[in-house]
Amino acid sequence: MKKYILFVFLSAVLFSCIPAKKTSTLQKTPVKTEEKNYRHIYCIKEIKMQRPMETALDVLTRYITKAVLTSGNILQCSSKTDRYISLDIKSLYIYSIGYSISQRASIYKVNINMDVIIENRKNQPILKENVKETTQYVGAGLRADIERRYALEELAKLIEVRIFTILSKDK
């Protein structure tokens, strides 16, 4: 029995001299920095319009940018760019079809007919697709020209979906 107690005592003394391992509740796991495989690097080359409207150019540029990024591609105009997007807007009509009690336009209809052109680095067309969209926006007729912009925004949302689909086809 004495030998057993002596063995336990010596073991306890020996193990107390060895520093304990640091254990934390938050163990560090190696973080894998995998780079996402982007399909292409796009640049918006131009948006051609017969009658340029600044509002339309702003809205379309914003939603094209959104479509490129949500499709898993990069938007960067540099020497790394391998695809260029151009929009050739053949017609864009915004007209009122309804009026409020105060005789202000409250319902706008928007039509667009355009070609979406994707070119490679050598400016050779890879894909050309015609897009025609029509939508309308119903407002209160109290906020002057703001509702016209909202109608353009509604149209641009539809165009974003169409461009997203087109970019998904591009391999």
> What is the pLDDT tens value at each position of the chain, 171 positions in all?
666 666 666 666 556 656 555 555 555 555 444 445 658 899 999 999 988 788 899 999 999 999 999 998 999 999 999 999 999 999 999 888 887 766 777 788 999 999 999 999 998 999 999 999 999 888 776 665 778 888 899 999 999 999 999 988 766
Domain ranges of the chain: 37-169
The Cα–Cα gap between 157 and 66 comes to 10
Per-position b or e across 129-147, b if 16+ CB within 10 A of its CB: eebebebebebebeeeeeb
Question: Which residues are CB-contacts of 117 (< 8 A; sequence separation ≥ 6)?
Answer: 85, 86, 87, 88, 125, 127, 128
Q: Could you tell me the pTM of the whole model? A: 0.70
- DSSP secondary structure code for residue 165 in this structure: H
CATH annotation of 37-169: 3.40.50.10610
The Cα–Cα gap between 8 and 3 comes to 9
